[in-house]
Structure formats: C-alpha cells, structure tokens
Structure 1
C-alpha cells in the first residue's frame, strides 16, 4: 500500500494524545530528514501508534505534511503577532524586535534552514508544501509592510520584500556558513534597509 493513504475529506481533525504524538514525530523527522525521505511506516513506529490510528487523524501523507507546516506556521503567527501587539504604538521598535527575535530564537533552532523552504523544495506545482510556504511568507511580508507603512516609509512594499530576502538568506546562512558574526551582520543589514526609506527627521 506504500506511503499514500486513501484521502477521505469527511474524516474530521481530532485533538488527542495520539494525534499530538504523531504530529510531533512527523515534525522532528520531516525537518531533520526531509518529507519524502520519511515514510508513513517510520512515523507509525516512532510515534507508537497503529496505522489505523494515523489514518484516522491524517487520511494521507499530504494531510500530515499540511499539519506539520500548520504547526510551524502557528508558531510564526504567534511570535509575530505577539511582537506587534507588544509594540502597538512603536512600529519601529516592532521591526527591530522582529530582527532580534530571529537571531535570538531561530538561528540556533533552525539548524537545517527554514522548514517551509526545505519542504517546498521537495515538490513542484501546487503541492500543499509549496502553497503553505507561499502563504506564510506572504503573510509575514505583509506584516512587515504594514509596520513600514505606519512609519510613512518611502517604499513599504519593496522594502518588506527585501527584508524577507535578507531574513531568508540569514536563516540559510545560519545552517550552512561558519559566520561568527551572523547575528550582527543580519541586524545591521535589516536596520539599514528600514532606515534608508524613513522620512528625514525635522531639523
């Protein structure tokens, strides 16, 4: 029967210890080894569940991939929403905190790079991994653009896109390069891109 289980759109998502165990196992294996390299039977064995249990919660491997990326996306949403909320009247401070949060929380934990980029690179076309990667990246970019607009930045759209490029490059660099100054290099570049388009301070 292989790794692909029959999809049944009527099977509801369920919250249970077994589901969380399956998802935590998939999260670890998919991130560490790649989505296509990890078979359903391996996840079943390491999660300590039956095939029927996995099928009940995730009717296909693509459903499990989607849940894995949803889990990662939820973390990003919570982190960014929290930063923006805590700097509600300080969009410039929020932008700086977005950079420092990445250096503080992500460079160490994302040892194999961005999970969305990694997963989407394994597939083509409209696969769920690529769709979800585009969705989260578009959402983050729009949050950055919104903060730039609040500062009357000269080019909020273009600068938000550039900041995302820098962020992506920094995460990749963190997983591949031996740059002992990665955090300071990243923050300096991030801040310069923002400052270049801000209105001049009144004299």
Structure 2
C-alpha cells in the first residue's frame, strides 16, 4: 500500500505540474487531487521539492524510452527525432519539455532539479550522438549538441505558437546540417 500511495502522488503531481506548472501547484492541491493524506505524503517525500525530483526522474525514464521507441519505429533515422517530437506536439495537451519547464521554474542552479534536467539533456544528447554515429555522420557529438539545440528551441516555439510547425522547420535545418 505504501508504494501505491507514493506512485499515486507521483502520477498526480506529474499530471498537475506538466499542465499547470510546478510552482502553481501546492501541497494542499496535491493531497486533494491524489486522495493521499498529509502524513502519508511526508512519509514518502520530505518536501514538495523531493516530489518534484521523483516526478522528473520518472519523466526522464519514460520520455527517453518513448523517444527511443519512436525513433526505432521510424528506422533509426536521426531526423526521425523531429518527426516524433512534431507528432507529440500536435496533441492538444502539449505543454513543451518538462525539463525546460522545470528549469524555468527552478531558482537554484545548483539544486537537484537543475542537476536532473542537465543530466536528462546530456542523456538525450548522447542518444542523438549515437544515432548520428550510426548514420555515418562525422563529429556526431558536436552535431548532436546542435540537434538538441534545435529540438529545445523548436519545442519552446511550439508552446509559444501552439503549432507543431517549428519542429518540422527544425527538421529541415537538421537535414541541412547532416548534408
């Protein structure tokens, strides 16, 4: 039962943080929406910040697994990254990158949220570098950093414009970088 409560808190917080923002959602709201009591909350998490870290750790695992599966299903072409992201962004509930959003809300550049977001971006960059190396691209690490820059910038632009077109434009730029 303890694991169930912890998982329900992470599930509820993940949905609320992504939809409304980390700062906008207080502990009272998390307790009310999850149906978990205050004592149970604090048995699992010393603070809301600890819950934020748990949510982002799960999101990191799930999102990177999703991206790898999407790219695999599309033939492991490095440009498939942008296709997968554009398809995801076309959903009505798209709110951008959970890690960029968390960085924007985190005031502590040395804190666990910042470190986790940086580690996530490094892992994504490593995955992209691997795809580029498999595709025979020279300098895959430097090119991967450019791809992630395009992915992140286009994702933020999608949120601003409410349209997946920036990810398709980023794909075209990335194709030019590979040429």
The answer to whether the superposition gives a TM-score over 0.5 is: yes
Q: Which has the higher helix share?
A: 2
TM-score, normalising length: structure 2: 0.86
Task: Indicate the structure (1 or 2) with the bigger Cα radius of gyration.
Answer: 1
Deviation at 1:145, TM superposition (A): 1.0
For residue 68 of structure 1, report the CA deviation from its aligned partner.
0.9
Match of 1:134 in 2: 118
Q: In the TM superposition, what whole-angstrom CA distance separates every residue of 1:45-103 from its partner, at most 9, and x where no partner exists? A: 1111110111122222121001111121112221233346557xx6xx43132221111
| Superposition map of 1:8-19 within 5 A | 15-16=3-4, 18-19=5-6
CA distance in 1, matches of 2:118, 2:85: 19
Following the alignment from structure 2 to structure 1, what is the Cα–Cα distance between the partners of residues 105 and 165? Answer: 30
Q: Runs of 5+ in structure 2 lacking a partner? A: none
- Aligned match of 1:37 in 9, 14, 24? 24
Instruction: Give me the whole-angstrom Cα distance separating, in 2, the residues matched to 1:36 and 1:46.
Output: 16
How many Å separate the matches in 2 of 1:128 and 1:180? 31
Q: Unaligned stretches of 5+ in structure 1?
A: 1-13, 197-203
C-alpha separation in 2, matches of 1:180 and 1:105: 8
Residue of structure 1 in register with 2:165 after alignment: 181
Q: Secondary structure at the match of 1:49?
A: coil
- After TM superposition, the score normalised by the length of structure 1 is 0.77
Would you say how many aligned residue pairs link Structure 1 and Structure 2? Answer: 177
Once residues 31 and 100 of structure 2 are traced to their aligned partners in structure 1, the CA distance between those partners, rounded to angstroms, is 25
Say whether the 8 Å CA contact 2:89–2:163 is kept in structure 1: no
- Larger deviation, residues 157-166 vs 171-180: 171-180
Alignment deviations for residues 27-60 of structure 1 (CA, whole Å, 9 cap, x no partner)? 1221222222222122111111110111122222
Corresponding residue of 1:115: 98
The Cα shift of 1:153 comes to 1.7
Q: Which residue of 2 aligns with 1:71?
A: 58
